[in-house]
Structure 1
Amino acid sequence: MGRGGQSLARVAVIVRAGAVPLWWLGLLAAGIGFLIPGLTGRRIGGYAGAALFLVCAAVVALVRRRRYRAWADGASRAAKYDYLQDRAVTLRNWRRAHLWWLLAGFLAAVGTSFALPVAGGLVLAGAGAGLWLKALWLGARERRDEALLWVRTDWAGSGRPVGKQVKGYRTTGLAAGDAVAGGARRRGR
């Protein structure tokens, strides 16, 4: 980094990075679980899974919002020489750091299907939906404040934008980077 600049990653992109793999692995595990009759049967497993999906999505979407709010309220402006990490790099880094956790979650979701079919997969999918909802919430805040939220990559570690190492956020204008507010890919660039 030239002239003392820091490498920054988008907060919403880090949050959103886990949504897609959790969603699709959860749906795949639920589909596999549907093929297994299990101890309780498919109907009970399906109803329990639907309820757990909603609960898990709500919990993941709401957890640590106060901390995100506090860091966003105290965010400082990014410096001129700060390096803004591409969205694809942030996604790749998060997914590489969490590959074994994703695989373990998928195997656990399939394994629980022998007791409660479909439910484990829907819990995993619910976690993905909750992360997506949290990214949408962050995007709404970014649009309202007209400032994108960034965190230093060395503070975010392996994908924790509100972890213990984080000491603050930085902001840029809405046109910075290659992702729109909320972390989605910018179209037409």
Structure 2
Amino acid sequence: MGRGTYALVRVAVVVRAPAGWLWWPGVLAAGIGTLLPGLTGRRIGLLAGAALFLIAAAVVFAVRRGRYLTLAQEATRAGTSVFLQDRAVTIRTRRRALRWWLLLAFLAAVGSSFAVPAAGGLLLAGLGAGLWAKALWLGRWEHAHDALLWVRTDWVPRGRPAGPDVRAYQTTGPAAGDAGPGGAKR
């Protein structure tokens, strides 16, 4: 890249990228867990899993919302010398960075079914649902303000678009990039 140029990645896409890879393995692990009787029994496992699903989804949705809003309200307009990273590239790099953690989480969810059937899988699915809901919330903000939120790629090495390394967001018009508000495909 030339002097003064840098790449930007969509905030909603970074949030949404691991959601599907948490949701579907979570549902699969919960399905496998219902086949096992477990130590507590299926009924208690499913009730505990449903509670964990709701709690995890609510916590993931609520965490750092204030920081997201602060960064979004203080966002500046992106310059003409920036590169906008494609949605597919963002999703591929995020999933590649998280693949071993997601595999370990899936195995832990299936393994926990021997004690509490389906609870670990539903917890995993709740994490994915919370991330998906947060991406939709960001999409509603983008739609209401007629702007897309972007962050520098070098500020989100661990995939935390509202982490301590993120100093500011930048905005573009709603036609920029290849993802719609909320990080969904156009």
- Give the structure-1-normalised TM-score: 0.96
Alignment match, 1:147: 147
- Please state whether the residue corresponding to 1:8 is helix, strand or coil: strand
Q: Is the 8 A contact 1:57 1:130 kept in 2?
A: yes
Alignment match, 1:52: 52
Alignment match, 2:76: 76
Aligned equivalents of 2:31, 2:46: Cα separation in 1: 11
- In structure 2, list runs of 5 or more residues that go unmatched: none
Alignment match, 2:172: 172
- Please state whether the residue corresponding to 2:115 is helix, strand or coil: coil
Alignment match, 2:184: 184
Which aligned runs of 4 or more in structure 1 are off by greater than 3 angstroms? none
**Amino acid in the other structure paired with 1:20:** G
Alignment match, 1:120: 120
Q: Is the 8 A contact 1:40 1:117 kept in 2?
A: yes
- Please state whether the residue corresponding to 1:178 is helix, strand or coil: coil
How many residue pairs get aligned? The number is 186
Aligned equivalents of 2:74, 2:114: Cα separation in 1: 48
Alignment of 1:81-120 (within 5 A): 81-120=81-120
Residue 3 of structure 1 deviates from its aligned partner by 4.7
Residue 104 of structure 1 deviates from its aligned partner by 1.0
Q: Is the 8 A contact 1:33 1:110 kept in 2?
A: yes
**Amino acid in the other structure paired with 1:148:** L
Alignment match, 1:2: 2
- In structure 1, list runs of 5 or more residues that go unmatched: none
- Please state whether the residue corresponding to 1:57 is helix, strand or coil: helix
Aligned equivalents of 2:69, 2:110: Cα separation in 1: 36
Q: Is the 8 A contact 1:3 1:81 kept in 2?
A: no
Residue 60 of structure 1 deviates from its aligned partner by 0.6
Alignment match, 2:158: 158
Do structure 1's residue 22 and structure 2's residue 22 form an aligned pair? yes
- Give the structure-2-normalised TM-score: 0.98
Q: Is the 8 A contact 1:5 1:79 kept in 2?
A: no
Q: CA RMSD in A?
A: 0.8
Q: Is the 8 A contact 1:110 1:121 kept in 2?
A: yes
- Please state whether the residue corresponding to 2:175 is helix, strand or coil: coil
**Amino acid in the other structure paired with 1:75:** A
Residue 59 of structure 1 deviates from its aligned partner by 0.7
Deviations 1:52-104 (A, max 9, x none): 11111111111100000011011111010100000000001100111111011
Deviations 1:108-163 (A, max 9, x none): 11111111000100000000000000000000000111110000000011311012
Aligned equivalents of 2:161, 2:63: Cα separation in 1: 13
Do structure 1's residue 132 and structure 2's residue 132 form an aligned pair? yes
Deviations 1:160-187 (A, max 9, x none): 101221111000000000000100011x
